[in-house]
Amino acid sequence: MKEVEIHSAKVHVEMDYYLKGSIADNTVENGVTEVRSFFDVESDQQAEDLIEVIQLAKKGCFAESLVKTAVPLKSVCTLNGTEVDTN
């Protein structure tokens, strides 16, 4: 484990999304066109050490991994206790 003194660390995440169509007309759809993360770190440590820690944090971030790599989605729906197909 890398030991680095950090005075402050913040992450801000933004995304551009859209929702269009109509639920009433069965044409509703949505999506995300871009996700951005902003890391703000305050420390007196060497920049190289801090960059390494940030890179390791990004590698361990489930949110970044989910956005970068498509994963199968299993959706199970039950109606009054009985599983139903909603696909």
Rg over CA atoms, the chain:
20
pLDDT digits (tens, 9 = 90+) for 18-57: 999 999 999 999 999 999 999 999 999 999 999 999 999 8
Domain count, the chain: 1
pLDDT for the residue 67:
87
Q: How many CB atoms lie within 10 A of CB 5?
A: 9
pLDDT exceeds 90 at position 2? no
pLDDT digits (tens, 9 = 90+) for 65-80: 988 898 898 999 999 9
Task: Indicate whether 74 belongs to any domain.
Answer: yes
Task: Indicate whether 58 belongs to any domain.
Answer: yes
Q: How far is CA 32 from the centre of its chain?
A: 11
pLDDT exceeds 90 at position 87? no
Task: Indicate whether 44 belongs to any domain.
Answer: yes
Confidence bin at 82 (pLDDT 50/70/90) = very high
Query: Which CATH number do you get for residue 14?
Result: 3.30.300.20
Task: Indicate whether 3 belongs to any domain.
Answer: no
Task: Indicate whether 37 belongs to any domain.
Answer: yes
Task: Indicate whether 2 belongs to any domain.
Answer: no
Structural domain range at position 36:
8-84
Task: Indicate whether 1 belongs to any domain.
Answer: no
